Amino acid sequence: MKNYPKYLTFSDRNRTPSVLKQTFPLPVPNSDKRYFPKNNLLYTNLNSIESERKFEIAQFYTFLKDTIEVEHFLVIPAIASLNRLNFYIPNKAKEDLYKIATDEGFHAEQSLAYLNSLVEQFQIKLEDDKLPPKFVQKLEWQKHNQIYEPIKELLPIIFGIVTETRISIELGQFAKNVELENSVREICLSHSIDEVIHSSQFQALGEWLWEQTDDKLKQIVSASFMDAIIYRNMPDLDALIQCLSFATNLSIEDAQILVLRNYNEELVIAEMLEVSNPTLKYLLKNKMVFQAQIDDRIKIEKDFLKNSLFNA
């Protein structure tokens, strides 16, 4: 590849990065709108308007916590790693990528302000609240267990591509959902506008680095993308259990029984594939993974879930 792939910038879209606007949407007391899309699988287990409300608020709380973790522990480290890569990246592309770190720091700050206001208004308290999200733990495990040095330096970039291609679509869906509380839509909209730019730039970086790798490294990168997609995008049932326990005052054990009774391996995989779809389309288009490879991995994950989690 002679020329660096084209990518979007804020000037291309005639947009201003949200960090320059410094807006901090906050939850509105006594709003009658939802804080999170309705979970139809668990809705019948919420026996009052109050428990339904608490469940939605707890889910958005965990969504914001995940957002902060994504920015601080996945995306910003990916940008910070650029200067250490043993790959040539044109100066202009690298400078534009560096701007992402500034944007993402603000997104974490914006999310924290909203999260703190939710805690203050609704006294949210979840079990194991100080632990990193499951997906961050799994990605850290992936990085720790990789012994091949050439791929180790690329893993932060792989994590960045996987999460940015997902979040840009996910935030946009939240922003368009008229059932959600206006401040939820507002914070997701400002974030999603930035993420469209970020996703474009990460995708261009991925294409550029892919063309510079040899065949051996390509095979490992491809497998690493599949691992990262599974780890990042598998629904966090543990977090769902904690949210249900908070909303209903059930014990964690009883909440777990209800969640596992309403979910199965087919539903979990379907949710994972839905949020993974933008990433998989990008990877397939650039021949970084192949459909047979995806199908084989999905079968493995489905069998694992069936035999380990849903084998009661």
Domain that holds residue 187: 45-308
Say if 65 falls within a structural domain.
yes
- The pLDDT of residue 66 is 96
149-191 tens-digit pLDDT? 889 999 999 999 999 999 989 999 999 999 999 999 999 999 9
- The pLDDT of residue 256 is 95
115 vs 64: CA distance, rounded Å: 6
At a CB cut-off of 8 Å and minimum separation 6, what does 238 contact?
A: 128, 134
Instruction: Give the residue among 161, 172, 163, 173 at the shortest CA–CA distance from 194.
Output: 172
Say if 67 falls within a structural domain.
yes
- The pLDDT of residue 31 is 87
Say if 36 falls within a structural domain.
no
247-273 tens-digit pLDDT? 999 999 999 999 999 999 999 999 999
Say if 25 falls within a structural domain.
no
Long-range contacts of 270-273 (CB under 8 A, 24+ apart): 271/235, 272/230, 272/233, 272/234, 272/235, 272/301, 273/298
Say if 5 falls within a structural domain.
no
Say if 136 falls within a structural domain.
yes
Say if 227 falls within a structural domain.
yes
Residues of the chain falling short of pLDDT 50:
none
Domain count for the chain, please give it.
Answer: 1
Burial of 48 by CB count in 10 Å (0-12 exposed, 13-18 middle, 19+ buried)? exposed
- The pLDDT of residue 312 is 55
Instruction: Give the residue among 298, 262, 304 at the shortest CA–CA distance from 277.
Output: 298
The pair of structure tokens assigned to 24 is 């901090």
Residue 101 identity (one-letter amino acid): A
> Which CATH number characterizes residue 102's domain?
1.10.620.20
Say if 269 falls within a structural domain.
yes
